Structure 1
Amino acid sequence: MKHAVDSGTTESIQPRIRAITCDLTPAERLPPMSLDPMTLRLPAQVLAITGPVVHRSSPHHGRCGLVLLLQNASEQRFVLKVARGAYRMQEIALEYEVLKLLHGTEIPVPKPLVHVQNRPLGFLLMEHAAGRSATDVLREAGSRDDRNRIAVAVGSMLSTLHHLPVGTVSWQECVDGQLLWAERHLQEKVMSRAEFRAKGITGDPVKELERLRATCPEPGVVAVLHGDFRPKNVLLDGERITSVLDWSFTDLGDPWYDLATMFGYLDPAGQQVFLNAYGLEAVDHERLAWFRSLSVYLAV
C-alpha cells in the first residue's frame, strides 16, 4: 500500500541550477558508443545486489548514456543506467536522489537500488519497472475513447506531481536558473542550428533566447518538474500508470514547462482532455509557447 506524500520529502529538491554544477560539452551529449554494453565491467556494488548476471541487453541508449537490462539466475530483472562525463554523472546522481524521495509515494517510479561513481562513469541500478510505453499504447489505440483514457491518466499524474510540496524558493530564481542553463548550452554549442530548427526554433537561437528573456511571463507557482514528461517516459498497464521514468531532468519551476512538453505529443482533442484531467479548463497559450521554446534549450 502506498503511503501519503510526506511534507518533509520533496521539499529537499533544489532548482537544477544548484544541483548540476558542471557544464555540458558537445562530446558528453553524444551517446557513449565506445562503451560496449556486453563487456562493460559492472561495479562490485551493483553485483552485490543483483548477484551473478546471466543475461544483459541494451535496448537503447538514453540521454545519460547506456541503459542496460540485467537478469540474474533467479530471473530477477534490473535496469542499470550508465553515464559518462562529469555533467551526465551529476544528472544520474540527481535522478538517484529524486527516485529515493518519490519511491513509495503517489508517483510510481522504479525503486532505486544503488548509485555508484567510478570516474569517468556513473552507475544507477533500479528495479525493472513493468508496463508498456505510453508512446506505443497511444500509437496502437483503436479509438478516441482509448486515447482519451490515456490522456486522463497522464494529466492526473502530472497534476499529482505538481502538487507535491516544495521548499522555499522563488519562481523567478527557478526561471532565471533555466535561462542561465539555456545560455550555457548556447555558449557550449551543444546543439546545432539544424537541431534547433527541427525542434521549432527556426530563427537565430541567440536572438530567440534574447526574446525569451525580454518576454518572461508573470511569476506563477513553483512545482516539482519532471523535466521531460512525455509518453516514452510513462509506462502503462491498461489505463493504469505503473511507472514514470527518467528523472535526470528534474527541476523546480513553472508547471507549464511540463505541460508544454506533453502537449506536443497529443492531438488537439487529447490536449483538452489532458488539460481537464490536470485540473485546468483553458490553455494559457502565451505561457505554453514560452515554456515550449525554453525547453528546446534545456532538454539536451
Structure 2
Amino acid sequence: MARLYEVGQLMQEAAKRSDDAPAAPEPVRPVAVDDDTVRAALAQHLSRISGSRTEIVGFGRKSSGFSWITYAFVARTAAEGDRKLILRVGPPSGLFAPYSVLPQVYALQSLAGSGVPVPALVSSEQDGAEIGFPFFICAHVEGDVPAPWAASELDPDHKRAVARQFIEILASLHRIDPGSTPFASLQLGGERAELRAIAGWRASLARPTARYYPLLDWGGRWLRDNCPQPPRRAIVHGDYRIGNFIEHQGRIAAILDWELTHLGDPHEDLAWALMPTFNARSRKLYGVLERAEVIDLYQRASGIVVSDKSLAFYEAYALYQAAAIQMCAVRAFEVDRFNDMRLAVMASQMPSIVRAFERALEAAA
C-alpha cells in the first residue's frame, strides 16, 4: 500500500506541529505521598463511616505503578472483625494527574451483580477531604493477577479457558445498557469520548521533551479526522487487557483498573486487548486464541458485528495511545525530574512503537 504521507508534507507539518494542538500544561514537580499520613487518615475515614473505631492492620503498597497508588490492608473493628480491603489513591503528581475517582466508582456501582465481576465498592471521595487525594476503597478479591510476559509458563489449555472467559466478560460489559446505570450522566451532550481522548493525547504529545516524532503529529490529526461512528454506545473499559484481572482457581474473579472507563465504541476494548504488547508479543490473545477466533467468540457473545475497518482504526489508536503514555513517562523523567529509572527506559521503546503505529495507520487507511 502507498505510504499515507509524503516526506515533504510531513516536514511542513513538523514545523507547525503544535499550531492546532490544545494548550499544554506547565511542568510539574513530583509530590511525595506519605504512607503513614494516608494510613492515619484512612483509619479516621473508616471509623467515621462505620460508626465504630477502626484499626488499620498490615497496611502497605500493593503495586508500584505510575498512576494510581494501590494499598492493601485489613480494617479491624470490634463489631465486624477483620475485613481485607483495597485503597486506591490518585496522587497529585501521577503521570495523568489531576485524577477523577468517578469513572472507577461508576464502574463498580454499575457492574455490581452483573455478568462483569468487579470488587465491591466500600467508600469513595472525589475531593479527598479526609485522605488528601481522590480515593476509593473496595473489597479485596482473592486470587492472582497474571503477568502477560509470563504467559508461556502456563498450561495452554488453562490459558485458553481463561482467554475465552476474558472475551465473554468483555461481551457482557458491552451488552449492558449504560442508560440504566450511573454512566447515564455521561451521555448528556458534549463531544464524543473518543475525540476528547485523542485531543488529550495530542496535547500531551505537544509538551516539550528531548524527543519529537513527526508521525505522531500527523497520525493524531488523522485519527481525529477519521474516527468511525460506533455500532452502539457501550461502557468501554479503556484498558482491557491480560494483566488487568484477578484469576482464582481457573476463573476470572474480578476485572481491575477502571480509571479509563467511558462511554464509547466497543471496538476500542477489543483492539486494546489484541495488542501484542499485552500478549507476550504474540499475535494471539494470551498466546493461545487466534484473532479470528477472538472476533468470532466476541460477536456471538455480544451480538455486535465487528467492523474490520473500525477494528483497524482502534488498533492504530491503541498504538497512538501507547506512544503518548510512553512519552508522558519520558517527559516525567527528562523535564519534571521524576527520580525513577523505569521512566527513562521507556524512551528506548519509542522507536518500535512508532514503527508499529505507522504500519497500523496504513492498514486503517
With the shorter chain as reference, the TM-score category is 0.7 to 0.9
The CA distance in 2 between the partners of 1:149 and 1:137, in whole Å, is 18
- Is 2:66 aligned against 1:67? no
Name the amino acid aligned to 2:155: S
Residue 292 in 1 paired to residue 318 in 2?
yes
> How many residues align structurally?
267
Deviations 1:196-215 (A, max 9, x none): 9xxxxx65422221222233
Moved more, 253-262 or 267-276: 267-276
Supply the distance in 2 between the matched residues of 1:25 and 1:297 (Cα, whole angstroms).
20
1:235 aligns with 2:246: yes
Identity among equivalent pairs (%):
18
Q: Encode CA deviations 1:275-295: one digit per residue, 9 max, x unaligned.
A: 333226978252342332343
* Partners of 1:169 and 1:222 in 2: CA distance: 12
Gaps of 5+ in 1: 1-22, 197-201
RMSD value over aligned CA atoms?
3.4
Secondary structure at 2:41 match in 1: coil
> Is it true that 1:81 corresponds to 2:91 in the alignment?
no
Q: Secondary structure at the match of 1:133?
A: coil
Structure 2 residue identity aligned to 1:110: P
Structure 1 stretch displaced more, 282-291 or 263-272: 282-291
Greater than 4 Å deviation, 4+ residue runs: 23-26, 86-90, 168-172, 280-283, 297-300
Which SS does the other structure have where 2:177 is aligned? coil
Question: Equivalent residues in 2 for 1:170-181 (5 A)?
Answer: 173-181=192-200
Q: Distance in 1 between matches of 2:250 and 2:128?
A: 40
Q: Match for 2:41: what amino acid?
A: L
- 2:119 maps to which residue? 110
User: Residue type of the partner of 2:295?
Assistant: L
Superposition TM-score, scaled by structure 1 size: 0.74
Structure 1, residues 97-137: CA drift from partner, whole Å, max 9, x if none?
32112122221111111113335512211111112113369
Please say which of residues 36-45 and 73-82 is displaced more in the overlay: 36-45
Residue 295 of structure 2, aligned match among 262, 267, 275: 275
- Asked whether the equivalents of residues 234 and 264 of structure 2 are also in contact (C-alpha less than 8 Å), the reply is yes
Counterpart amino acid of 2:46? V
TM-score, L = length of structure 2: 0.62
The corresponding residue for 1:10 is none
Distance 2:268 2:154 in 1: 30
What is residue 17 of structure 1 aligned with on the other side?
none
Distance 1:128 1:173 in 2: 34
Task: Tell which structure's C-alpha radius of gyration is larger.
Answer: 2
How far did residue 175 of structure 1 move? 2.7
SS at match of 2:161: helix
| Residues 249 and 106 of structure 1: CA distance in aligned 2, closer, same or farther (over 3 Å) | same
Give the residue type in structure 1 aligned to 2:35.
P
- Whether the aligned pair in 2 keeps the contact of 1:103 and 1:111 (CA below 8 Å) is yes
2:46 maps to 46
Partner SS, residue 135 of structure 2: strand
3-state SS, counterpart of residue 118 of structure 1: coil
Q: Is the CA contact (8 Å cut-off) linking 1:171 and 1:222 kept in structure 2? A: no
Map 1:10-21 → 2, pairs under 5 A: none
Question: Where do 1:244-255 residues align within 5 Å?
Answer: 244-255=255-266
User: Partner of 1:261 in structure 2?
Assistant: 272
Residues 255 and 262 (structure 1), Cα distance of their counterparts in 2 relative to 1, 3 Å cut: same
Quote the offset at 1:220 in angstroms.
Answer: 3.2
Map of 1:36 onto structure 2: 34
What is the letter of the counterpart of residue 244 of structure 1? I
Report which of the two has the higher share of strand.
Answer: 1
Q: CA deviation at 1:42?
A: 2.1
1:234 Cα deviation after fit: 0.8
Contact 1:171 1:254 in 2 (8 A): no
Superposed CA deviations along residues 221-241 of structure 1, whole A, max 9, x for unmatched, are 221101111122111113311
Corresponding residue number in structure 2 for 1:226: 237
Paired residue secondary structure (2:103): helix
Equivalent position amino acid for 1:261 in 2: W
* Greater RCO (CA < 8 Å, at least 6 residues apart): 1
1:166 aligns with 2:173: no
Give the C-alpha shift of residue 46 in structure 1.
2.7
Give 1:124's aligned residue: 136
Given that 1:38 and 1:56 are in contact with CA atoms closer than 8 Å, whether structure 2 keeps it comes out as no
Aligned to 2:182: none
SS in 2 for 1:161: helix
- Matched with 1:156 is 168
Cα shift readout 1:178-203 (whole Å, capped 9, x = no counterpart): 222223323456xx576x9xxxxx65
Does the aligned pair in 2 maintain the 1:107–1:244 contact within 8 Å?
yes
